[in-house]
Structure 1
Amino acid sequence: MTDDGRLVAGRYRLSQRIGSGAMGVVWTAHDERLHRTVAVKQLLLQPGLAEADTDEAKRRAMREGRIAARLQHPHAVAVYDVAEDDSQPWLIMEYLPSKSLSAVLSERGTLPPRDVASIGMQVASALAAAHNAGIVHRDIKPGNILLGDDGTVKITDFGISRATGDVTVTATGMLAGTPAYLAPEVAKGYDPGSPSDVFSLGSTLYAAIEGEPPFGLSENTIALLHKVASGKVNPPRNAGPLTALLMRLLRAEPEDRPTMAEARDALAAVANGQAAPAFTPAVVAPTHPPSWRGAPVQQPQQQAATRALTPPQGHQQAPPPNATRVDMHTPPARTASAQQPPSNHRPAAAPQYSQRPRPAAASSSLKSKKSTVYTALAIVAAAVIGIMFASMISNGGDNGTNNNAGANTSAQQTQGNEPTKQSTPPKSAGKAGQWTQAPEPSDQEALLRDYFTAAPKSASESWQMTNAKFQGRQQGGYAGYEQFWKGIQKAELVSATYDGNFFWKTEVKYTKKDGSVSIEPKGFSIKWESPNMLIETESSLGAPRSG
């Protein structure tokens, strides 16, 4: 029995079956009204559904199809129509002569990093436009990326998979299908948001380079789901210039990932043979829980109403409970305003430094106290030098001195090799241990200049000028921080403007060891907790430019 030649919805004449999967069958068809070739997808409903569930699945498919039809982008397969024929929902889509990325990987195994970056850039451009339109894809994977015969790359199946696709939940709450490309927060049962799309894109590109997704492939979907929920990704081995960017896309915390627009620009740079720009997560404080941080998806109507309300400014929300049950059978109703803000903003966030009280103005008494501190330090230093000199004489000269110096060096090296174990940097580092009252702006600027002078020469020294919050945000911890500075010959503060509340807007000039020079606008917040003054956050304030 065949459906070749069947007329769907009185208009679309089926021609050739070109694909099938858990969610449906795809045909080429002739639109007899507009005389063009289209792709027609028959959405297959799960067998054994109750009548009410079947009706709801149909309505959901229709609704999601209409949402997807709002997006018109050169790198997204357009949805022309949603129809019902023989009690089954059908999607009428743009036809693109192509192969899926999944099929290409099955043939070739892997693709070169720059080719993968080019594919990712085109997909990310469509997804960034979708996020701006309030549309979240929710099922980015190699099978949904089409590589056109003419070199065009397009993503398909916007929103449909959530309604009827291969990651669904049965009435008993058991997951059906593979979660290999899910974001950790979705694997835990939270509502997908635009950051979830960023993670899934990263997983897809990772698979194109490494031959399998970041968490592997397993027939035991529950075990795989637990691995995804952990968010622990092994760095790719074959990604070359894409390595750092992939790891940023695959960060476990949604708020730590770049936006899709940032991902698009970085992928474009790698595709063109340039270095991907570094992203530092914005310094943010939630004003209300983002969609992916809300309660697990269990009561759609109640959750939709909750997300539609914005708590008052500064209201602190309790963290969501840890969810163990994945429930994606009925997605909550969504509105464009509740789904995704413009792509150049972090979701539901405001600059954290704006909430800090302004420091009191420095007074003459502060200067007097600082002068007293300096005098005391000078006296202590003189005493220490005298004791050391006497010790040198009593121990017979150079041998004892050299042994002590070697022991001190060894201790310092041990500290430098394990900086992440320190909750508070040593008081002797940077400007720590000197300030019993609020430092003046000139003192804060001196800290920043000392930091950039020290970092290219000794990453361990500059690391100790930062606090635990700064260190916790570094990709790869101290090892990643040290690796970055190994490639820098010189760093200097070109300009520094105090913005109040211990925040500085700066331009930093990096001279790399390969001879390239870049100037990057950066923001720094400084944390003063008597007596320590340390760098707390670093954020990007714009695109870098060549020096």
Structure 2
Amino acid sequence: MSEIGTLLAGRYRLQRQLGSGGMGVVWLATDELLHRPVAVKQLHATHGMDPRAADEARQRAMREGRLAARLQHPNAIAVHDVTEHDGLPVLVMEYLPSRSLADVLAEQHRMAPDVVAVIGSQAAQALGAAHQAGIVHRDIKPGNVLLGDDGSVKITDFGISHAADDIAVTRTGILSGTPAYLAPEIARGSAPSPGSDMYSLGATLYTAVEGLPPSGEDTENSLALLHRVAAGVIRPTEHAGSLGPVLDRMLDTNPNQRPTPERLHAMLHAVASGQPLPAEFAAPLGDRTQVIGRIPGHTTTVVPPQGGHGTRLDSAPVAAWDESPERQRSTRATRRPLILAALAAVAILLIALATTRLSSEDPTPTSVARTASPAELERVVSDYYALLPQHPGNAWTRLGPQLRAQGHQTYDATWAQVTDVAVFSPPVATGNNTVHVGIELTQPDGTRIKEFHQLGLVADDSAPLINTDTVLHAETITPPPPPAPTPTRTKEQEGKGEEDKKGEDD
């Protein structure tokens, strides 16, 4: 990593460090060509990293520069240049003397509703411009909202943003974003959309006025928080005042019911200026939020990061969340009269066919989809991981068509990079053909990766097959470097040492 005074690209002189995170360091620098202050984001050195992770970090930085360069708006941090230093991309951005909303809340705990409305109205304008440019931010949170010393508000960090014509570089099956600020549909695996950004902004403003995120904080169990977010569980506001109905609309579990950035800007401006909201927004938050299917509780515990490694969440679509048993029973009950009527019709048809000597053409029996019990689903998952990594060929036969689409060779190559698999959180069936499980993978260099998976299973004639696999939470624990070898002395050095000691004695 560079030091103060380093000159990057023959132009940007580093002055002081502004902040750091899991991906890199942000510096205050001077553009010696244009004589202006700039912010420089420099990636951490990727030496010793997994090649795939290193390449992903480089592509993420390049994507941030490319997408942010599309967006020119007074409420979004501008990217001036993208260059390289020591083979790593460096982003040169607009410098805004500011503090993040997260830093302010760490001191103040919460803010007044009218102040939060002003912050939200400016952030909404930036998101509106981003959405018009075809960009979904995907990680709106207090840490990515900057409050300028001049009173301006700007969003930043487009590192995991998605554009309509952009090629995703995050790994398939990984969820992107920060759990406490994810929209419910994203927590359930849907693709990002402008509506999911509006929910994340709503969760950010909720946090600013209430002092904690709407679905709670990620203090001990990230997976439990993710379940609450996916289920649409929201704590009613206590301090939002006239901002409450606006938050209600932003946090609606139906993305189509959330306001557009333009509509939101008008609503927040009304709150900030003390003007009344339209009657349609008068209902309190608790009355308007739709809570979707709850997730049965279990005792899974997420292991906190170790060795300075933070939680990593990236994105991919998965199957819709399971329906409740009551809904399934209701559906079966509704179908029963139809089935009886159909059987009666078949009986009449058979009698008619018999009278015309066509009784040999019997109708084909109707097949009934096989439903696996929770215990059977959990056993299938346990048996699957018991085969890995030693028997990937046998484990391959336990996969459904979606996971087999990756190809047998790719599957074998993936598990060839793993030396051990341990299940530290046993499989738990959480609904219709859905199982959660926690596993720890050990790589040849000793790196351990703890992951929580949501597996979707499909019915098969013999046993259910694992058809989808989404990583809900992942942590990487890098082994400490080996101790430096103790220097060995040659016989000549030992002999010289004895002579020196003898000389001292004399």
Does residue 1:86 correspond to 2:95, yes or no?
Answer: no
Report the CA distance shift for 1:169/1:159 in structure 2 as closer, same or farther (over 3 A). closer
Q: What TM-score, normalized to structure 2?
A: 0.53
Q: Counterpart of 2:197 in structure 1: which amino acid? A: D
| Displacement after TM superposition at 1:261 (Å) | 1.7
Question: Map of 1:108-119 to 2, 5 A cutoff?
Answer: 108-119=108-119
Q: Counterpart of 2:39 in structure 1: which amino acid? A: A
Task: Show the counterpart of 1:185.
Answer: 185
Q: Using the alignment, how far apart are the partners of 2:210 and 2:47 within structure 1?
A: 36
Task: Show the counterpart of 1:220.
Answer: 221
SS across alignment from 2:102: helix
Q: Counterpart of 2:33 in structure 1: which amino acid? A: R
SS across alignment from 1:29: strand
Does residue 1:265 correspond to 2:255, yes or no?
Answer: no
| Displacement after TM superposition at 1:86 (Å) | 1.2
Stretches of structure 1 that go unaligned for 5 or more consecutive residues are 281-291, 303-320, 330-547
| Displacement after TM superposition at 1:252 (Å) | 1.1
Q: 199-208 or 68-77, which moves further after superposition? A: 68-77
Report the CA distance shift for 1:261/1:233 in structure 2 as closer, same or farther (over 3 A). same
Deviations 1:225-268 (A, max 9, x none): 11111112122111000111101100112112111221111111
Q: Using the alignment, how far apart are the partners of 1:203 and 1:45 within structure 2?
A: 33
SS across alignment from 1:69: helix
Task: Show the counterpart of 2:238.
Answer: 237
Task: Show the counterpart of 2:149.
Answer: 149
| Displacement after TM superposition at 1:131 (Å) | 0.6
SS across alignment from 2:233: coil
Question: Map of 1:62-81 to 2, 5 A cutoff?
Answer: 62-81=62-81
Contact 1:136 1:159 in 2 (8 A): no
Report the CA distance shift for 1:176/1:268 in structure 2 as closer, same or farther (over 3 A). closer
Question: Map of 1:19-418 to 2, 5 A cutoff?
Answer: 19-44=19-44, 49-160=49-160, 178-218=178-218, 219-277=220-278, 325-326=469-470
Deviations 1:472-518 (A, max 9, x none): xxxxxxxxxxxxxxxxxxxxxxxxxxxxxxxxxxxxxxxxxxxxxxx
Aligned length: 295
Report the CA distance shift for 1:123/1:177 in structure 2 as closer, same or farther (over 3 A). closer
Does residue 1:18 correspond to 2:14, yes or no?
Answer: no
Contact 1:189 1:328 in 2 (8 A): no
| Displacement after TM superposition at 1:9 (Å) | 2.4
Contact 1:80 1:94 in 2 (8 A): yes
Give the share of equivalent positions with the same residue, in percent: 57
Q: Using the alignment, how far apart are the partners of 1:60 and 1:21 within structure 2?
A: 14
| Displacement after TM superposition at 1:25 (Å) | 1.3
Q: Using the alignment, how far apart are the partners of 2:15 and 2:252 within structure 1?
A: 44
Deviations 1:410-468 (A, max 9, x none): xxxxxxxxxxxxxxxxxxxxxxxxxxxxxxxxxxxxxxxxxxxxxxxxxxxxxxxxxxx
Task: Show the counterpart of 2:440.
Answer: none
SS across alignment from 2:270: helix
Report the CA distance shift for 1:48/1:162 in structure 2 as closer, same or farther (over 3 A). farther
Contact 1:26 1:40 in 2 (8 A): yes
Q: Using the alignment, how far apart are the partners of 2:271 and 2:256 within structure 1?
A: 23
Report the CA distance shift for 1:48/1:212 in structure 2 as closer, same or farther (over 3 A). farther
Deviations 1:109-155 (A, max 9, x none): 11000000000001101111111111111111111111111111111
SS across alignment from 1:180: helix
Report the CA distance shift for 1:18/1:162 in structure 2 as closer, same or farther (over 3 A). farther
Q: Using the alignment, how far apart are the partners of 1:172 and 1:221 within structure 2?
A: 20
Q: Counterpart of 1:126 in structure 2: which amino acid? A: A
Q: Counterpart of 2:251 in structure 1: which amino acid? A: L
Stretches of structure 2 that go unaligned for 5 or more consecutive residues are 282-314, 321-401, 407-432, 435-453, 456-468, 474-506
Contact 2:316 2:470 in 1 (8 A): no
Q: Using the alignment, how far apart are the partners of 2:280 and 2:77 within structure 1?
A: 30
Contact 2:23 2:57 in 1 (8 A): no
Report the CA distance shift for 1:172/1:262 in structure 2 as closer, same or farther (over 3 A). closer
Report the CA distance shift for 1:109/1:30 in structure 2 as closer, same or farther (over 3 A). same
Q: Counterpart of 1:246 in structure 2: which amino acid? A: L
Q: What TM-score, normalized to structure 1?
A: 0.49
Q: Using the alignment, how far apart are the partners of 1:66 and 1:257 within structure 2?
A: 28
Report the CA distance shift for 1:326/1:213 in structure 2 as closer, same or farther (over 3 A). farther
Contact 2:124 2:265 in 1 (8 A): yes
Report the CA distance shift for 1:197/1:86 in structure 2 as closer, same or farther (over 3 A). same
Contact 2:41 2:91 in 1 (8 A): yes
| Displacement after TM superposition at 1:80 (Å) | 1.1
Q: Using the alignment, how far apart are the partners of 1:102 and 1:32 within structure 2?
A: 32
Contact 1:235 1:247 in 2 (8 A): no
RMSD: 3.5
